[in-house]
Structure 1
Amino acid sequence: MNPLLDQLQPYPFEKLRQLFAGITPDPAYRPISLGIGEPKHPTPAFIQQTLADSLGGLASYPTTAGSDALRATIAGWLERRYGLPKLDPATQVLPVNGSREALFALAQTVIDPSRDALVLCPNPFYQIYEGAAYLAGAQPYFANSDPARNFSPDYKSIPAEVWARVQLLYLCSPGNPTGAVLSLDEWEELFALSDRYGFVIAADECYSEIYFKDVAPLGGLEAAHQLGRTGYPRLIAFSSLSKRSNVPGMRSGFVAGDADIMKKFLLYRTYHGSAMSPAIQAASIAAWDDEAHVAENRAKYIAKFSQITPMLQQVLDVALPDAGFYLWAHVGKLTTLSDTEYARRLYAEYNVTVLPGSFVARDAHGINPGQGRIRMALVAEQDECLEAARRIVEFTQKQANRR
């Protein structure tokens, strides 16, 4: 067996299952889960219909590069969304089976394990980054988020000898779980470090279309263009239809950026067997070409967050995020409970599931930046999320009275 597999930690939801082992929640409450970031809004009918109408394509093997039509559609969306100059669909865009598998695969493409490689990850983070690092023969290096910096890591504090070993840097903007969006100044700082040390930047942007302000979140390719970085050197952006269009089961996304890296990535994927079904490609074209359903989806999240955030602020240290569909809350405003004990008691007493923050972070540089926090995914319909929020408020107030 591959010994690198032994370095992998259990996934957060396996840890959650173990945390809840032996608990029977109060049957007076129906179960509500805010634990998993799986979109629950209905899939638009036109996407479903396009998928059903395209099943004739199942008789053919798809190419790893995807169809010319899909790549051109994705390039067009990037140009409209981010104000980019015309992209070359043949060399700068590649469809993938969801951003998750592509985020993992990129590390296997760009890491040279013979050079004592590091993969720099935000902390807290999406666990795929860590697994990708280990299985590529590298070690993760965690950059802790700082609440005082809108949960951005202080990249300036990372020693030069660490940067010299970094071959890949994962970013998530808007962030999971914090919802923070990188500023142009932060992008400029990271591009300068990439130029100095030669590492690749993987910009995970799968939450980019769920936001609460009038201005859409800045993307990595957009930042590079605004800073005059022609050709997007050492930058690969990842996006997905899962959250944007409520189609997580389609497993459809794309990568775009540096053509030299994309050429090697396509070679890797050709051997890996990562071609997208023709039916999924057709449905993806329909989804990327339509913005009306995206605006409707965003409006639902705005309505939920505008009601639920003030409710939870009564009992938790929490603020409206820049974007995304998570609330990243500290439980210590009224209680002395740890994040794991808070989640465990909330489940037992009120049948609401939240994810302990320490499950999506690692002990690094003397702290676990997820400790004392919980992640709540407001992915269900509004009434269900409001009911969960009411229970959380009642539960937390009870804990405060027990102090």
Structure 2
Amino acid sequence: MNPRLDRLNPYPFERLRQLFAEVQPNAHLRPISLGIGEPRHATPAFVLQAYQQALHSPTDGLASYPATAGTPALRQAFAKWLGQRYRVQVDALTQTLPVNGSREALFALTQTVVNPNQRDAIVVCPNPFYQIYEGAALLAGATPYFANSAPARNFAVDWDSVPADIWARTQLLFVCSPGNPTGAVMPLSEWEKLFALSDQYGFVIASDECYSEIYFQEEAPLGGLEAARQLGRHDWKNLVILTSLSKRSNVPGMRSGFVAGDASILKQFLLYRTYHGCAMAPPVQAASIAAWNDEAHVQENRDLYRQKFAEVTPILSEVLDVRLPDASFYLWAAIPASLGMSDTAFAKALYQEQAVTVLPGSYLAREAPAGNPGAGRIRMALVAETAECLEAARRIAAFVHQHN
């Protein structure tokens, strides 16, 4: 067996199952889960219709093998959306590729970028982080290095904490903006800093932007390609952005997204994917084109989240150190020190007494020189309908009041 598999850490939800293994939730309450970030708003009807029409089409159905690169129409839809959303112009056929969701692409891109012959290769990750970053780095033969986020700076990652000798060995840097779980959006000044480091040391920047369309301010979050354009970088050198329809269009089961950026990297990425067997099914391509070409449903989805967060956040902010994030559908809350509970103890007792599931923050981070930035925090995914999220918030508030 591949010995690198032994280096993988259990996924956060597996650790959560183990934490709850001997605990029974309050039988008098209906269980509510805020633990998993799985969109639960309704899938747009027109997306389902496009899928069904293609499924029964003699040319777009399941009767032939799809091309790994996708259809020209699909890639043109990517380019059109990037132009409308970020005001950037990309070559659809050389600077975009379809992927089966951002998770698959994050993993596969890492295998493409990391040189297995460099024994001391580093992949820099934000901390806390999406665990695919770590697993992809380990299975590529690299060592993850974690840069902590700073609560005092609205959870911005402290890139200055990364030593020069680490940057010198770095082959890939993961950026997540808006961030999971913090919801922080990276400003142009930080992009400028990372581009300068990439130019100096030659590493690739992979920008995970799957939460870009769920935001609470009037101004949409800055994206990697947009930041590069504003800084006069039009060739996207050593930059690849990854995005997805899962959160934007409420189709997590469709596993559809795309990558865009440096044409030389995407050429090699396509070669890797051709062998990896990652072609997107034609009906999914047809439904994806429909979704990327429509913004009305995205605005409606964003409005639902804005209303939900506006109602839920005030209830929780009375008992937890939490505020409205820049973007994403998570609340990243600190547990009051007066409770005398770790994040795991809090999650376990809350599940037992109030039948509400939250994810311990320490499960989403790693020990770093400055400690584990998730310790003492919980992540709450407000993905259910407003009424259910409000009920969960009231139960959390009651729990904190009872134990304070």
Residue 114 of structure 1 aligns with which residue?
Answer: 117
Distance 2:345 2:158 in 1: 30
Q: Structure 2 matches for 1:57-96, cutoff 5 A?
A: 57-84=61-88, 86-96=89-99
Q: Deviations over 1:90-127 (max 9, x none)?
A: 10000100011000001100101222100000010000
**Contact 1:316/1:334 (8 A) holds in 2:** no
Structure 2 counterpart SS, 1:54: helix
Residue 52, structure 1, aligned to residue 62, structure 2? no
**Contact 1:75/1:87 (8 A) holds in 2:** yes
Identity over aligned pairs, percent: 68
Which residue of 328, 334, 337 corresponds with 1:330? Answer: 334
Which residue of 225, 232, 246 corresponds with 2:229? Answer: 225
Which residue of 102, 105, 109 corresponds with 2:105? Answer: 102
Letter in 2 for 1:377: A
**Contact 1:315/1:333 (8 A) holds in 2:** no
Q: Structure 2 matches for 1:58-207, cutoff 5 A?
A: 58-84=62-88, 86-115=89-118, 116-207=120-211
Residue 256 of structure 2 aligns with which residue?
Answer: 252
Residue 16 of structure 2 aligns with which residue?
Answer: 16
How much is the aligned-residue C-alpha RMSD, in angstroms?
A: 0.7
Distance 2:378 2:75 in 1: 38
Shift of 1:4: 0.2
Which residue of 235, 247, 252 corresponds with 2:239? Answer: 235
**Contact 1:334/1:396 (8 A) holds in 2:** no
Q: Deviations over 1:262-297 (max 9, x none)?
A: 000000000000000000000000000000000000
Structure 1 counterpart SS, 2:38: coil
Which residue of 268, 290, 310 corresponds with 1:264? Answer: 268
Distance 1:293 1:186 in 2: 31
**Contact 1:317/1:333 (8 A) holds in 2:** no
Q: Deviations over 1:213-269 (max 9, x none)?
A: 100000000000000002111000000000000000000000000000000000000
TM-score normalised per structure 2: 0.98
- Segments of structure 1 that go 5 or more residues without pairing to the other structure are none
Shift of 1:152: 1.5
Runs of 4+ in 1 over 2 A off after TM superposition: none
**Contact 1:29/1:350 (8 A) holds in 2:** yes
**Contact 1:357/1:371 (8 A) holds in 2:** yes
Distance 1:98 1:334 in 2: 41
Distance 1:39 1:109 in 2: 29
**Contact 2:148/2:373 (8 A) holds in 1:** yes
Shift of 1:151: 1.0
Which deviates further from its counterpart, 145-154 or 226-235? 145-154
Residue 26 of structure 2 aligns with which residue?
Answer: 26
Letter in 1 for 2:302: R
**Contact 1:34/1:353 (8 A) holds in 2:** yes
Distance 2:370 2:222 in 1: 32
Shift of 1:336: 1.6
Shift of 1:334: 4.3
Q: Structure 2 matches for 1:28-43, cutoff 5 A?
A: 28-43=28-43
Shift of 1:366: 4.5
Shift of 1:148: 1.2
Structure 1 counterpart SS, 2:393: helix
Structure 1 counterpart SS, 2:300: helix
**Contact 1:315/1:334 (8 A) holds in 2:** no
Distance 1:389 1:335 in 2: 17
Distance 2:26 2:167 in 1: 50
Letter in 2 for 1:13: F
Q: Structure 2 matches for 1:278-357, cutoff 5 A?
A: 278-332=282-336, 334-357=338-361
Distance 1:96 1:27 in 2: 42
Letter in 1 for 2:32: I
Distance 1:188 1:28 in 2: 53
The number of aligned residues is 399
Q: Deviations over 1:68-95 (max 9, x none)?
A: 00000010000000011x2111100001
Letter in 2 for 1:27: A
Shift of 1:22: 1.2
Letter in 1 for 2:135: G
Distance 1:301 1:375 in 2: 16
Which deviates further from its counterpart, 249-258 or 333-342? 333-342
**Contact 2:147/2:161 (8 A) holds in 1:** no
Q: Deviations over 1:153-179 (max 9, x none)?
A: 221222111100000000100000000
Which deviates further from its counterpart, 38-47 or 49-58? 49-58
Distance 2:261 2:162 in 1: 26
- Segments of structure 2 that go 5 or more residues without pairing to the other structure are none
